[in-house]
């Protein structure tokens, strides 16, 4: 894999008075009152924005939020302006659109070090279709491109891939660059997604509610890992496939045969026994035996990737398993094990436990992390200039 050029290679001469189209991942959760409930993605974007501001660039900040169908007020980026302004220490100007005359005027009047936030790029269906004309309009207000949105790197959209055809240089932001560096260090190639040469023993922890959303990941990892640990609601499909009583626990009936085939593939890795669950009861977290078993197994590792919680961690009563795994990984990181946390729920769990800074890398891009582990290409990364 060719390394990608980083924003850090750009000098003040490259950036002063230049308009930079910066694609960030500001897709943060908002409550019913349009208040931000988790600003992790905004904070993660700050180093790149500040670097550009300090070098005298005019920053044109673009992002999506949610999955709007056309212009949808509840998916507007306007609620993000106060927090961005606070974190950057400078007033952020907000446009009512992401293309058009108003955007052109606001971009032209930006002072050196100023920041203009564009409205949600997904208000246009052309964004996700990677329409060349739309990409050209986005790019028309800028001189160069920086992509710091790993969370959308698995999609060839207008603002992540299309604009690179019209703006040069096209470089990775600090967040994107850090992720590329970490993944390369554990032998994951961005061009093919293959987990090639991680430090062994290599473990993957995969959780979440459904097998169906993780089939590709499990099948890909089975061929590469020394240890595969499954948790979360998905395990009950595996348990039922083996004839265990699972009560009212979540089961995907149409995936039972697949579960059996995956179990057979994994026989050489070992099987954790399941106890019977009474009728009417539901499994919502891993128990103390699983925590102990998982922790002892993880003690043998050198590289760990974690995607998906162990239970319904949003509720305190069912967060013990996920918290225990988070603490274990923090402990292992301190001992020199490479730990990569990928996927929204896993990241949220680690943040909730106050252990985010104790991991080797936190990936804010859930979908991109999954697709990378499945062995898929990341077009938003591949479109950037080689170092």
Q: Which is catalytic among the residues 344, 365, 375, 380?
A: 344
Phi/psi of residue 214, nearest 5 degrees: -120, 10
Q: Which is catalytic among the residues 18, 23, 41, 137?
A: 41
**CA triplet 286, 314, 64: central angle to 5 degrees?**
125
Q: Is 43 a catalytic residue?
A: no
Q: Is 5 a catalytic residue?
A: no
Phi/psi of residue 369, nearest 5 degrees: -60, -45
Q: Which residues are annotated as a binding site for (2R)-3-phosphoglycerate?
A: 41, 122, 155
Q: Which is catalytic among the residues 165, 269, 367, 376?
A: 367
* 3-state DSSP assignment of residue 93: strand
The radius of gyration of the chain's CA atoms, rounded to the nearest angstrom, is: 22
Q: Which residues are annotated as a binding site for ATP?
A: 214, 283, 314, 343-346
The token duo for 50 is 């500040």
Q: Is 335 a catalytic residue?
A: no
42-80 exposure pattern, b = at least 16 Cβ within 10 A, e = fewer: bebbbebbbbbbebbbbbbbbbbbeebeeeeeebbbebb
Asked whether 369 and 363 are in contact (CB, 8 A), the reply is yes
Q: Which is catalytic among the residues 210, 265, 302, 376?
A: 210
Q: Which residues are annotated as a binding site for substrate?
A: 25-27, 64-67
Q: Is 344 a catalytic residue?
A: yes
Asked whether 150 and 370 are in contact (CB, 8 A), the reply is no
For the purposes of burial, counting CB atoms within 10 Å of the CB of 342, is it exposed (0-12), middle (13-18) or buried (19 or more)?
buried
The token duo for 338 is 């490479």
The token duo for 185 is 């260090």
Q: Which residues are annotated as a binding site?
A: 25-27, 41, 64-67, 122, 155, 214, 283, 314, 343-346
Which strands form 303-307's sheet, in the order they lie side by side?
227-230, 202-206, 303-307, 338-342, 361-363
Q: Quote the DSSP letter at residue 43.
A: H
The token duo for 356 is 């985010």
Contact residues for 357 (Cβ-Cβ < 8 A; gap 6+): none
Token pair 């179990």 in the structure block, residue: 263
Q: Quote the DSSP letter at residue 201.
A: S
Q: Quote the DSSP letter at residue 132.
A: H
Which sign, positive or negative, has the C-alpha torsion 360, 290, 322, 345? positive
Catalytic (active-site) positions: 41, 210, 344, 367
């Amino acid at each position: 894999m060719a390394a990608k050029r980083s924003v850090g290679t750009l000098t003040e001469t490259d950036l002063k008075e230049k308009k930079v189209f910066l694609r960030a991942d500001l897709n943060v959760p908002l409550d019913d009152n349009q208040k931000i409930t988790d600003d992790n993605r905004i904070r993660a974007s700050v180093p790149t924005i500040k670097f550009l501001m300090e070098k005298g660039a005019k920053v044109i900040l673009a992002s999506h939020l949610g999955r709007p169908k056309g212009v949808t007020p509840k998916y507007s980026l306007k609620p993000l302006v106060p927090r961005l302004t606070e974190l950057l220490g400078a007033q952020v100007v907000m446009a009512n659109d992401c293309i058009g005359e108003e955007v052109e005027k606001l971009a032209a009047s930006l002072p050196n070090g100023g920041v203009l936030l564009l409205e949600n790029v997904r208000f246009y269906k052309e964004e996700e279709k990677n329409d060349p004309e739309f990409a050209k309009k986005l790019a028309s207000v800028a001189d160069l491109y920086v992509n710091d949105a790993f969370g959308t790197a698995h999609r060839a959209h207008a603002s992540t891939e299309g604009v690179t055809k019209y703006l040069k240089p096209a470089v990775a932001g600090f967040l994107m660059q850090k992720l590329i560096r970490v993944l390369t260090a554990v032998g994951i190639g961005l061009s093919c997604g293959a987990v090639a040469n991680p430090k062994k023993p290599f473990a993957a922890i995969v959780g979440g509610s459904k097998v169906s959303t993780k089939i590709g990941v499990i099948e890909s990892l089975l061929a590469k890992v020394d240890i595969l640990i499954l948790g979360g609601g998905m395990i009950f499909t595996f348990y039922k496939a083996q004839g265990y009583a699972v009560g009212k626990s979540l089961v995907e009936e149409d995936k039972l045969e697949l579960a059996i085939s995956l179990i057979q593939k994994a026989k050489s890795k070992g099987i954790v026994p399941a106890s019977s669950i009474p009728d009417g009861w539901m499994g919502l977290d891993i128990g103390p035996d699983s925590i102990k078993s998982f922790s002892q197994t993880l003690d043998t590792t050198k590289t760990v990737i974690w995607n998906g919680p162990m239970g319904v961690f949003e509720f305190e009563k069912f967060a013990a398993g996920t918290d225990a795994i988070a603490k274990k990984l923090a402990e292992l990181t301190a001992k020199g094990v490479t730990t990569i946390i990928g996927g929204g729920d896993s990241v949220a769990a680690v943040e909730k436990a106050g252990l985010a800074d104790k991991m080797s890398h936190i990936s804010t891009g859930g979908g991109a992390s999954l697709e990378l582990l499945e062995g898929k290409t990341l077009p938003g990364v591949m479109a950037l200039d080689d170092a």
